[in-house]
Amino acid sequence: MTRFMAAAVLVTTLPALAGCGERNADATPVATGAPIDLLTADTATLAVPLSVPAQLYVEHDAAVAARTNGIVQAIGVDLGARVGAGQLIARLESVDQEIALAQAEVAHANAEQQVARIRALTASGAATVADSEAAEFRFREAVLAVRKARREEELTRITAPFSGVVTSRNARVGRLVAPGDTLFRITAAGPLLAQVRVPEAAAAGIRIGSPAKVVGPTGTTADARVVRASPAIDAASGTREVVVELASGSRLLPGASVSVRLGAERRRVLAIPREAIAEEGYVLVSEHGRTALRAVTLGSDLGDGRVEVVSGLSAGERLVRSSR
């Protein structure tokens, strides 16, 4: 689990003579020149936001599948199209279903006439109770047959379950489909959510409405707030489940891998001023009158011109200010 960390940096001005020389990994003697500032990396224990990996999602995200056998007759939307709830997005061939519905409606009309006649005869005593019950039974069967036939015809109409965007389209005109075959995927535009598990030590101060920051894979950021939080710590993992909701207008997309920054934890880490970093993540280390170019692995930007160093340096090492 990658976490956002911070540290203090001590900057000292030393009357040292240094020269950067050519850029290579070999130590280079310090040339005579004007005094320069040497930056000393130090460590400190600070309360900093916790960074937890997550994946963005929306509550309404569903595959739209065929619910009856049939051949796809028409498609009304394509990938990326916006749809409304209940909008017709595709249709299967429905000739057989339409014929069955028409037959059921004719049978229903006939049963309705018969039951009306039997009711009148029963009221006048000209029909037996058995005749009346049989007519009523046939009428109820006819009503159910119409409902079933209408339902079968409706299943040939593929509609959007909610408003959103078509994020996948597998439907093809002329293709035979069976119940359960995925035709489309509809994803709501928002709100974007991220579910994370926060370690117990950093979860104490998290409440509904607590602010958070979401950082995308390309550095895009979005404000967020906690909308749901478990009232208990999971004993197995020692974490608390938290859901954050991104503010509207974010350029991040559902499914994106992000880092969620929230809460606070105390950590001891190493950091250096950003001005000590040359191109491609190198620093110039000054030691015993010589300088050496060294590659470092950088972590999170800590603000105030500081950046975390994950590897490549030790506390107390002196760095030459970069000229870039």
**DSSP codes of every residue in 232-264:** S-BTTTTEEEEEEEEPTT----TT-EEEEEEEE
In tens, the pLDDT along 61-90 reads 999 999 999 999 999 999 999 999 999 999
Question: Which residues, 6 or more positions from 83, have their beta carbon under 8 angstroms from its beta carbon?
Answer: 77, 89, 160, 163, 164, 165, 166, 186
In tens, the pLDDT along 27-74 reads 445 444 545 567 776 776 666 678 889 999 999 999 999 999 999 999
Please check whether residue 191 is in contact with residue 57, taking contact to mean a CB–CB distance below 8 angstroms.
no
Question: Across residues 126-150, what is the average pLDDT?
Answer: 93
pTM above 0.75, yes or no: no
CA proximity to 277, closest of 314, 309, 310, 317: 309
In tens, the pLDDT along 221-249 reads 999 999 999 989 989 999 999 999 999 88
pLDDT at 148 over 90: yes
Q: Which amino acid is at 56?
A: L
pLDDT at 24 over 50: no
Own/partner long-range contacts of 311-314 (Cβ < 8 Å, ≥24 apart)? 312/283, 313/41, 313/270, 313/272, 313/283, 313/285, 314/41, 314/270
Q: How far apart are CA 243 and CA 247, in angstroms?
A: 13
